[in-house]
Structures are given as structure tokens and as C-alpha cells.
Structure 1
């Protein structure tokens, strides 16, 4: 075989199959000739006893077995053309198996004809006669079947697999046609009605049975199979369309080559969390700024915190009616209830954990090996629409593509899309050993160009959008967050209020959104003289710092080399974050821990320029930057390696969901009748499992809880309105509007309870910088009236 053919048709490849049209009817003609010869020999037999009779039956058997069956099979397979007709890839047969197939066909036909000839002609009882015809039909039909499948075995260069359904169907057709055909022949022959036309009819019927077993039966069963596959495909397609309208958890694992893990159906492994997402369940849009999403994000960074309570979560969801178990597995209820947002928040988090555990079971791995949650929610079931506006003077047709043009103020394309479902994605990079293990389970790793069309169609999203998402997922799985152990860093902390003052955004690097734009000031801790140098610039804007450094004399710069280093770091920070707001950001000489409260994790210190970006300018000056919610930045910082918030999260989960385990244990104890109880004793009615879980939602409080209560031990907030008043007013508005659906306001007792529940929550670097940004500007502002006019 030539190299070109080997490359074109590698081993294991299934070549394209075509048929030579004129050889298909020619195969039937050959079978008809053999059948007609057999019928004529049987009809013209002279002796029915002795060796001559056996010789005539042997001739009939050779005619039927060798010509009608074996030659027809050979001609029929010759009509099959593989690939583009290359001789190297056509069928090649083993002579031994081919000869054996012909001999078996002849012997089986001889046995069948001998039985029918002896018992039908001489038998008196109808049962004997019809039984002999049945045996004849079984032998002749079996001869055709055995010859064809043994002939397929003789093909040396291909392995052909058979289906039991096909074998049974073909055998049934061959036996029925042989029984009916020879039955008519022997019946008409006994009645002296076998004229030439009847013999031709019988021969054609027998040839139709043989060829039908080879062609028609296969085609019929293939057609039936296509119909079944069509209905199966339609059902699968409907299931995928339904899933595109649900809240789904998917897993995206990548190998070292960046290939995506897919199942046998070519999709990412996924499970439905809930069938419908009701916006009324939660107060805000379900995205990265939502407290439930942030809780899930923290959990996926610390799977061990929920591993032990998942069985209790599953039992609680089953008892509450949110999931039920059947033969197909766990099924979700249609949607979360809308009447109790707090309870639904807990139920959704339980559903997520249980769903993640199901996916881990399907992958035959632990839940801790699923990876971490991607930083955004994918909206599925989207489509581009066309809006038409008809006015009195003119009529314009505006498509979504027209609306999605670049906006200089937005700095990005905004498409008009309508989402039906949402997908949370866990992503992870796996090593070679894990790749081999998953492949042994039946999964595959494929390039996105191979499966993007199928996945995009199932999710009902554009293909290019899916490919961009997969590339972001791959980059996300490769991120390695490391906290500097020592040194001093100069950072930029720029916030921007969203329209409506519902949330604050922070400008962060696109490649590492869990960090702030920062540059290294020194690889060691600053000494007292260097810190004194920085203290001179405390409260200065960035431009003022640069102007002050430029005004310094050469003697001062030579005396204090750190002053020059500080100036270079400011220039480098401007290149990292080329935002106009950074020029007006205020410098804080207060050294902040990279990981507050954890000196054993990192001794690195951060000095930051803190500022506020104008709300009416949403675009960014660099593609390497992006904005994320301030609360999500806090969540990122809480998931840093070695952070104490991992233990705090585990304690909160145990406090919140550990009651489910205790409730289940108490119920089991009560069912067993253990424990002595006074029948007449009065006991307080204990809350039910649902009541307990509804009244505790420690993980779902607003991340931006009133900073003046949480950030204690720092300077008191100034009353200057130009800077701190605006920020504190927006924070107050955020916290007051957060529970708007549950009541008109937050009373003192509720606030104290929330603060008490959050006492263990550690401050992050973002918390400290947010407090600085609300205080430092008011303290150091040299012209409050000018600042107030600027903000107005």
C-alpha cells in the first residue's frame, strides 16, 4: 500500500461506501439462475431411490448453494466500492473461509431438500408434511445465513461487526422465503400443477429471499435503525434545547495541549442545577457581584469545606421536594420558589453542591478534583433579534448587529441578546495520568474546532462566542496565584460607581483579576528612612508626587536614592494602569499587609494610590485592564493560598449546614425509639429543618456590609462631603437597597445580628483600601470646594 493511501485511510478509519449500480441487479440475476436451475433439476428428477436420487439432490444442492447463494454473495460484495475506488482498500478474502462458506451452504441445502423430498412426498399426515417443509426452510435459510456471515468472516483486511437484531431479522426473512418458496414447489408438484410459469415464479421468489437477505433486509433494517436514531436524535436535541434554558453546572477540563474534555456525545460533562431560574428568587441579577455566586466561588476554592455536609444537603433537598430520585437518577423540581428569597438562596447553594457531587461521581473522582468556578456566568439560549421601528416620517430596520457597534463610552461591543438559561463552569488543567484515566472511562479530549459547532448548537449561542469562552476558560485554568512572601509594592486602587450606585467596580489586570495593578517598589522590607521618604508624599496626588520629585534637587536625589526609585515605580505603574483617574489618585503611605492578619503567609507590604474614576466614563484606556465588582475582588482575595478565610468559610458552612446533620441524627434517633422521654413533660417546639435553614444564611449576606461597623481600629471617617461623603452615601444606599424586597429597611436588631454573624470575617486588602479611599482624601484635600465642584 502506498504512503498516500496510508495517510488518507489510516488504520481504524471507516472509508466511504458506494455501490456499482449495474452489479446490484446482476447479483439478483445470478441468484435467480441458481434457483431456477435447482427447481428445474428437482422437477425433472426421474428416480427417487438409490444413488441416482442422491446424486440428483446433490446437484440441486450445488446449484442452489454454490450459485444461488455463494455466487450471489460474491457478485453482491463486488458491487461495493470503498473510498474512491483505490484497489489497496477494497475487500480481500481468505480462500479457506470462502471455500468453507460454500461447502457449508451446499451441505445445509442438501439436508433440507432431502428432508422435504422424503417426508413430504411419502408422508401421509399433514403434520409430517408441513414439518418437513419447515425443516427444509430452516436448513435452506440457515445455509444462506451461514454462508453470508462466514463469507464476511473471510474478509481479511476489515473487521466487520454484526448486530444481533440484524442477524435475527435476516434469518427470519431467509427462513420464511425459503419455506414458502419450496412449499409452493412441492405442493404444486404433488398436484401436477408445476408448469413453467409457476416454476419461474417459485425461482424468482427464492432468489428474492436470498437477495433480500443480502440487500433488502439490510436496507429495511437500516431504514428502521435510521428512524429510531432520528427519534433518538430529536429527543436528544430537545433535551439539549431544554438544557439551554436551565441553570446548568458544566465541567471544562483541559489537557496540556489545550484540548477540551467532552463526553461520547461531544459535549462538556454537565448536570442541571435547577430547571428554571426565577429572577424573583434573588434580589439582584445572578452574576459575579451576587453573594450566592461569590459563596460558590469560595467553595470551589475550598471543596473540603462542604464535602462532609453534601449527604445532609441531599437528604434535605429530597425532604423539601426540590429533588427526587428515580431509576434515571436525581431529578430537579421545575424551579425555585419565589416567595422566600432567603430560603431559595440556601436551596440553590445546596443544589449546586449536590450537582457538583453528581458530576464528580460520573467522572469517577472526588469533588475536590473538579476545579474552581469560572469568574463569570455564561448566558445560554441567546439569539440575535431584529428590532423594527416605524415612525410617521420614515421606517428604519435596526438589527442587533447595528446596535452592537463599538461605543466609545462603553469601550466594548454590546449585543442585543435575550438569555433563556445560565451555566456555571468549573475549569481545571489535568495532567497526563488524569487524561489517560478519563479516556478509559469513555471520555475524550478534542480541539475546540472539532466540537465547537455541536456545543454551540446545544447551548444555543454563537459559535465564535463559544470559542472565545473556551479560550478564556483555558487561560483561567492555567492561572497560578501566588502571594509575595516579602518586599514592598506600589499599587493602584481605582474604583468606579455603577449607574444607580448599586455596586462599586475596581480596575484590575485582565490576566490576574484577583490582584491590583502593582509594581515592585523593593524586594525587601523598607527601612525607616525609606518609609520617612514615602511619608512626605502621604496625601499627595500622583501628579503632585511626580512634580515634587521633579522639583527635588540633584543633591537630594543623590542623598536619597530611594526617591528616584519611587519616581521610576510611579512611571511604571502609569504604564500598567494608564487611566486618567490615576493621575488624581491620592497616595497613602500607610503600609498594608498583602494578606491582612496573616504575617506568617506573607510579609509583603503594599502602598497604594487610591482614587475614584468618573462614573460617566466607563471605557478603559488599556485592553490589559478590566473592571470587576468590588465585592468580587474581596472574594478573590479571600481565596488566596494560605488565607484564614478558608477556615472561616468551613466554620460558617459547618454552622449553617451542620444543623442538617444534627437534625437527621435526631430524627433517626427518634425513629429508633432511643432515649427516655417523660410523656407528660413540656418541651419547647423545636424548629423544623426548613425553619432552621431558612433562618440562617450566614454565607449569603451582602459583602458590602456597612464599613463603619466592620472596619474598626482605623481613623474615624471625616465629614468632608467632597470625597468621603459621596462614597459613604453610595455605600449606605447600597446596603439599604440590598434588602429592599424583604422589608422597607434594616432595623437595628437585624443589623446587629448581621454584624455579630460577620465578626469572624477577616478584613482583606480591598477593605482597608476602601476605607482609606473614604477618609484619606477628605483629610489631605487642600481645596475641598474645588474637589466638590469637580465631583459635581
Structure 2
């Protein structure tokens, strides 16, 4: 050591302090990089009590404590120049103090972040949430303060003289700025408003907290020489080099997070053009379950649903959708088949082994592919995907929810722009094309949208305990206003469409099976051909599409006298029924009171279903059960119905009432087969076991014989569009067979899984006189049927269709023969 250094700076002296401006700026950048990395990691954390959440919070603590605080401290101290810059009197640090100062702030910040992450989102009490944020801010500010003074205390050649006002001011700046930063972050995160610009603001405040505290404390610190450094001056650069390396590592982490974010956006964009299964779970307050990114839990089923023909759309009239719709209401019938389905998909190449990604290596179907095989494959993909989502939510498949009643279209936002005017004056949208097209059923303008993707949604409403369990897994419940931007962007639909969709999903999740109460009803059964002549549609209430428009005639079943009065109107149009009741309600008798009540109920039915076709509909005196063989109900105590049956003209597609809508007749039949306790659940489960068990016996997708090209045309001309079955390998094994019943088709009425059914059969003989009809009921005894049920029973819709086909001219009235004979009406 030169002798002039000791003479110039004697022991106990306090050298002058100066600063390097560009290093001060660099120290703030280092702190900003560390703070931004911390915010990004914190934004991608998983809330809850699992080990994954702890690891992510620990990563946030390391990023903030080690990079934003520790690195900033030593880069900032490198900007402090003592004396005239001689190497012997500059700041040098002890390795022990340096190491401890790096570990201690990480531990303190980890505690603060863990408390805020656990209690701010997990508690609804304002005092608890405020206390958790206060503790987080105090811990972060204390970590910044103690790291600074602990690191400075490790200087080997100086005694430090501190100013208490500066200490208090520096600690106040650190605690206040950290409290403000984390309060903004958790508040925005709670409301799913934490976009990139808001996170940058939080990072700026955090960096300001660290830098502001550091330089406030540095302004109140004086250094008293207690020794001189002997050796090369390169040692003081070690901490600087380590700090810069850690800073570069944080930059790499930020780059990777940005890359993953862009990749996630591309995946979401691609997913909006695929067939996706999503889960819409609502809590008691009507809030939607979303992930930390504000998205619904979802997975891709397949890249695209393979259509057999150009006009074969995957919608509610498709047998595959109806199969899925019914299975989602009885998951227990398919649950034990999931492992074998997964093995079959892996064997055929539709699913990679040990991978949750579906449809990645999906085969391209050709005209020679077996339609039945692809139908089974798609249904397997749906079941496996639903099982994967259930495992993600840590729940069982039966608790996942029921399928929503529509196939939703996604990817419409980017396809609204059809073309641009050649003069560049106006961009024409698809909504502009459809401004003249009004959806009279809904009373709103319905724009034409060209979507690319399709989404199936499982819906459910959960109680408070289940909601808390899902929140502990890292999910959260948000109102649509909070997550509409993220959801609309991921689905590539407009925000208005999204809000309407979530509202419909919420209403559907609260809807219970609409099983009418015990009594006698009068219903309207109006059908019409679909616009593309692809089948028949039935008019149902918009709020309860699983039942017909009906009004209650009586709280109990009708007696024999009332049945005879009802039978007198058989075959008459509704207008004729009103005319006849007006002529016969003048007498003051029991019959007159019943006719008056019958007439009033007809007017109530017209009010609920204000269709002109209903006035021409033909009344059927055949008494039908609304449900068929439901478990737990006595047959004599079920709700029964009499119906007015009619067919609307094909050129009239709009409905008169906004409370009504049309759905495919086959889908309405699927509704009737999906009631809780319906025996058709067991029959479908039996078919599924037979079908999917046989699929495991074939090594690859079976192709139909090439020597029968006419089978393809037979399949296309089928009344119910049911795919053909390879009789050589899977005879009568497809679950789509019998899923949609044809008009007037007679099916077995035996119990599922075998057994004995005892039916009391009665004949109804009706004799028409001038005063009305007299009904005589003859008991034909008891009939026993023994066997294994392989065919589902007829629903009320099937029987009503047979009634319509029984009328030669449903739009005209005609005189009935004197004597009408009806078989058993409630079998």
C-alpha cells in the first residue's frame, strides 16, 4: 500500500462521497428487471395449498429478493465512489455477510407472498384481506431494508455512521411502495384485469420501492475508514459480475415467459377452430369458474369432426351429439369403459400414449372410411377428454356436469369481415349482410357468422364447499364483466355473443329435469319439416325444451265419465273443439263444468302457443304418459297428457311466440330418454358395453366391404341418418342404432337388463251417440313379458308421431265412425 494513501486518508477519517450517474440508472434497470420477473411469475402462479403453489411463490421470492433487491444493491453500491477513487479505500464486502444478505430477504418475502396469496383470494372478509396485504407489504419493505443495511454492514474496511431519520424514511418508502404495488397487483388479479400494462406499472412501483429505499438510506450513510484494502481491486467487481449474471438470467426468464404467452395465444387461436370440450361451472352467486388466465377449463377433442357428406352437420340433430347428450346425464354407464377407450385410441393412432393431447395424429377420413368406426372413435375421444378434464379439476367424471343443449360455434370474430369495398370506403361485415334478416323467434337481429370451430360445454352449478375446493386448486370464480375480454379473445367471438352465451349456460346449469307434476294435461304437438328437409322439428317452450307446451287440466286422473267426454272430441280440430264446447257448456251440471274447464284450458294453451297451426291441429283422445317407466313412480300416479297434433307448412318457418322455439324431433326424443331414473339409461349402457367391448377386439379401424357400394347410398337415404354397421365384426353393436326412433316405429316394452314386466291391459270401446260418446272399459287381464330388453321403449313423442301418421288428413275435419276401437293407451 502506498504511504501517501494512509497520509491522505488516515484511520478514522471520512472520505468524500460521489456517485456515478449511469450506474445509478443501471441499478434501477436491474431492479426493474427483477421486479417484472417477479410480477410475471406471480401472475402465473397457482393459488392454493399444493406443493406447486409453494414452488411458484418461492420462485417469485427468489426473483424479487435475489435480483430486484440483492443485485440492485451491489450494482448501486458500485456507483458509490469514495475519495478520489483510489482502489485501497473503496467498498469491499465480507463473503459471510454477502451470503446471508442474499438468503434472508428471500425467506422474508416468501412468507409475505404466501400469506397474501393464501388469504387475499381465499377469504371474503375485508379485514382479513387487508391484513394479508399489509403483512405482504411490510415483509417486502422489511426485506428491502434489512438487506440493504445487512449488506452494508459487511464492508471490511469501514465503520458505518447512520442517520435515524434517513433509516425511518427509507423503511417507510420501502414498505409504502411495496404495499401499494402488491395491493394493485392482487386487486387487478382478483378482477382478472391484470394485463401486461398493469403488470408493468406494478413492476415500476416495486423497482421504485427498492431504488428509493436504497438511495434514501445511502444519502444518510457516512463511511469511517478502519483499514485499507490490500491486493488487486478486481475483487470489488465479483459482486457486480454475479449481479449482472443474475440479471441476465432474469431477462432469459422474462423472454421464456413471453414466448410461452405467445405460444398459448396461438394455441387458443387454433383451439377456437377445433372441436373443443369446455366446462362451465357456476357457483351459488352465478360466477363462472375460470383459471388464473381468466379462461374456462377446456381441452381439444379433435381437430375437426369428419362429415360423411357435405350436408352432414354436427349439430343437435346428429346422432353422435344426442349420444353424448344422453351419456353426460348418466356418466356411470360409461365410466368403467374409459380405460379400454384410451387403449383403443392409442392403438389406432388417435391418441398418443401418456399424452393428454387428443387428435394430434388424427387420421384423415376418406370416402371409404367406415362411418360407424369414426363415430365410435369420436365418442371415445369425447369420453377420454372429459375424463382428463375431470382429473384436472380433481373430481370424478359424474361430477363434471351435463352437456349443454347446443353445439357452439367459435372462431367467428375473424370471419366477420367478408370483403372490402373496391374504393376502400367501407368494410362490409357479415352482420351488415344479415341486417334484413330478423330472428322472429328471439325478436333480435341474427347476423350471419361463418365459424371455424365447435365447442361442447358441460355445465354445472356447485355449492359453497365445492367452490372452495376448486379455489384451493388454483381456480377462481369471476363475473362475466371481469373475464369477458379474455374469454372472448380465446374463443374468437364478440363480447356481446360471449355475454349472451354465458347467460344461457348459467340458466341451463340451474335448470332441473322438467318432470310434470302428477295430473292430467293438454299439450300441443306441432311438427314441421326442417328448412333443409333433413328431418322434422317440434315446437317446444324456449325455457323448457324437454317438454311440450302444455297446460294442466286436472290434478288427478280423469274418471270414466270425464274420459268419455274427452273421447267425444277425438279427431276434431281445435277450432271444432271450441265450437262444440261452447254449444254444450250451457247446462248446469258436472259435465258442463268439466267442459267449461276444458274450454278454458284450450284457451290457455293457445296463449302459451300462439300458432295458427295449433287451431287446425287434431285432438287425440289417447291418454299418454309424459314419462315412460321412470324409476320410483307408480304407473297409476304418473302425469298423463292429451295432445293436439298438427303439421306446419314448410314455407312458414318463423314462430309467433317469442317464448317458443323449434328443436329436432330426434333431439326431443333424446330429452325424453334422459330423465333421471329413466330405464333407457340402462339400455344405452348395455349397448355401450357391447359396442365398445367389441371395438377392442379389432386392431385397427374396420372398413366396409368394397363389393357393396350401394350401402353408402342406403345410409344417406335412411330416414334417421343412422350409419351402417359392419355385420361381420360388430353385429348390432353401435349405440347409435335405436338412438333416434322413426315415425310410428313399434318397439319392445321390456325392462332393461332382463326381468319380468306385468302390464294390466284394457280395451277402450267408444260408441258415438247424439249426446256424445259412451266409453266402455273391458279388462283383458294381466299379461307378463319376460326377456332381455335390447330396444328402448317408445317415448311420448314416438306415440304422438304414430297418432299423426294415423290421421289421413290432419288439416281437415271429418266425421268419425260410430264406433272407435283403441288398444291399451298407456302401455
**TM-score bracket for the superposition, by shorter chain length:** 0.5 to 0.7
| Shift, 1:355, TM fit | 0.9
What is the aligned partner in structure 2 of residue 337 from structure 1?
Answer: 365
1:490 and 1:520 in contact (8 A); partners too: yes
Determine the C-alpha separation between the residues in 1 that align with 2:650 and 2:673.
27
Determine the C-alpha separation between the residues in 2 that align with 1:247 and 1:33.
58
Matching of residue 372 in structure 1 with residue 402 in structure 2: yes
For residues 338-382 of structure 1, what are the alpha-carbon distances to aligned partners after superposition, in whole Å with 9 as ceiling and x for unaligned? 322121011111111111111111111111011110000111112
| Shift, 1:773, TM fit | 1.3
Which among 33, 42, 48 is matched to residue 88 of structure 2?
42
| Shift, 1:407, TM fit | 2.9
What is the aligned partner in structure 2 of residue 506 from structure 1?
Answer: 538
2:274 and 2:300 in contact (8 A); partners too: yes
1:504 and 1:629 in contact (8 A); partners too: yes
Determine the C-alpha separation between the residues in 1 that align with 2:426 and 2:480.
39
| Shift, 1:60, TM fit | 8.1
Task: Write the mapping of 1:395-406 to structure 2, written as runs, cut at 5 A.
Answer: 399-406=429-436
For residues 148-201 of structure 1, what are the alpha-carbon distances to aligned partners after superposition, in whole Å with 9 as ceiling and x for unaligned? 9xx99996675899x9xxxxxx9xxxxxxxxxxxxxx999x99xxxxxxxxxxx
Determine the C-alpha separation between the residues in 1 that align with 2:661 and 2:504.
14
Q: Secondary structure at the match of 1:538?
A: coil
What is the aligned partner in structure 1 of residue 643 from structure 2?
Answer: 608
Task: Write the mapping of 1:127-526 to structure 2, written as runs, cut at 5 A.
Answer: 223-280=251-308, 284-326=312-354, 332-335=360-363, 337-338=365-366, 339-383=369-413, 384-387=415-418, 399-407=429-437, 411=441, 413-484=445-516, 486-526=518-558
What is the aligned partner in structure 1 of residue 691 from structure 2?
Answer: 656
What is the aligned partner in structure 2 of residue 776 from structure 1?
Answer: 807
What is the aligned partner in structure 1 of residue 678 from structure 2?
Answer: 643
Q: Secondary structure at the match of 1:560?
A: helix
For residues 446-482 of structure 1, what are the alpha-carbon distances to aligned partners after superposition, in whole Å with 9 as ceiling and x for unaligned? 1111112111111111121111111101100101124
| Shift, 1:509, TM fit | 0.5
Task: Write the mapping of 1:740-755 to structure 2, written as runs, cut at 5 A.
Answer: none
**CA separation of 1:341/1:285 partners in 2, compared to 1, >3 Å: closer, same or farther?**
same
Which among 729, 735, 757 is matched to residue 699 of structure 1?
735
Any unmatched runs of 5+ in structure 1?
Answer: 1-11, 14-25, 44-56, 74-86, 114-147, 164-169, 171-184, 191-201, 665-688, 715-755, 785-792
| Shift, 1:311, TM fit | 0.9
Q: Provide the aligned C-alpha RMSD in A.
A: 4.6
Q: Secondary structure at the match of 1:547?
A: helix
**CA separation of 1:563/1:638 partners in 2, compared to 1, >3 Å: closer, same or farther?**
same
**Count of aligned pairs:** 588
| Shift, 1:102, TM fit | 3.4
| Shift, 1:530, TM fit | 1.0
Determine the C-alpha separation between the residues in 2 that align with 1:88 and 1:273.
45
| Shift, 1:551, TM fit | 2.4
| Shift, 1:404, TM fit | 2.0
Which among 793, 801, 822 is matched to residue 762 of structure 1?
793
**CA separation of 1:330/1:580 partners in 2, compared to 1, >3 Å: closer, same or farther?**
closer
Matching of residue 542 in structure 1 with residue 589 in structure 2: no
Q: Secondary structure at the match of 2:301?
A: strand
Any unmatched runs of 5+ in structure 2?
Answer: 1-41, 44-71, 106-133, 160-166, 183-202, 204-209, 211-227, 700-724, 750-760, 762-786, 816-827
What is the aligned partner in structure 2 of residue 174 from structure 1?
Answer: none
Matching of residue 582 in structure 1 with residue 614 in structure 2: yes
**CA separation of 1:660/1:97 partners in 2, compared to 1, >3 Å: closer, same or farther?**
closer
Which among 673, 698, 710 is matched to residue 746 of structure 2?
710
Determine the C-alpha separation between the residues in 2 that align with 1:642 and 1:33.
78
Q: Secondary structure at the match of 1:325?
A: coil
1:336 and 1:344 in contact (8 A); partners too: no
1:93 and 1:154 in contact (8 A); partners too: no
| Shift, 1:703, TM fit | 4.8
Query: Whose helix fraction is larger, Structure 1's or Structure 2's?
Result: 1
What is the aligned partner in structure 2 of residue 54 from structure 1?
Answer: none
For residues 317-341 of structure 1, what are the alpha-carbon distances to aligned partners after superposition, in whole Å with 9 as ceiling and x for unaligned? 1111111124666664235523221
Determine the C-alpha separation between the residues in 1 that align with 2:466 and 2:145.
46
Q: Secondary structure at the match of 2:527?
A: strand
Q: Secondary structure at the match of 1:324?
A: coil
What is the aligned partner in structure 2 of residue 50 from structure 1?
Answer: none
Q: Secondary structure at the match of 2:547?
A: coil
Matching of residue 621 in structure 1 with residue 656 in structure 2: yes
Query: Whose strand fraction is larger, Structure 1's or Structure 2's?
Result: 2
What is the aligned partner in structure 2 of residue 595 from structure 1?
Answer: 627
Determine the C-alpha separation between the residues in 2 that align with 1:652 and 1:230.
49
**CA separation of 1:556/1:703 partners in 2, compared to 1, >3 Å: closer, same or farther?**
farther
Determine the C-alpha separation between the residues in 2 that align with 1:374 and 1:698.
23
Determine the C-alpha separation between the residues in 1 that align with 2:449 and 2:144.
63
| Shift, 1:307, TM fit | 0.7
Determine the C-alpha separation between the residues in 1 that align with 2:347 and 2:726.
9
Q: Secondary structure at the match of 1:567?
A: helix
2:744 and 2:801 in contact (8 A); partners too: no
Task: Write the mapping of 1:50-129 to structure 2, written as runs, cut at 5 A.
Answer: 102=149, 105-110=152-157
| Shift, 1:284, TM fit | 1.9
| Shift, 1:641, TM fit | 2.1
Tell me the TM-score normalised to structure 2 length.
Answer: 0.63
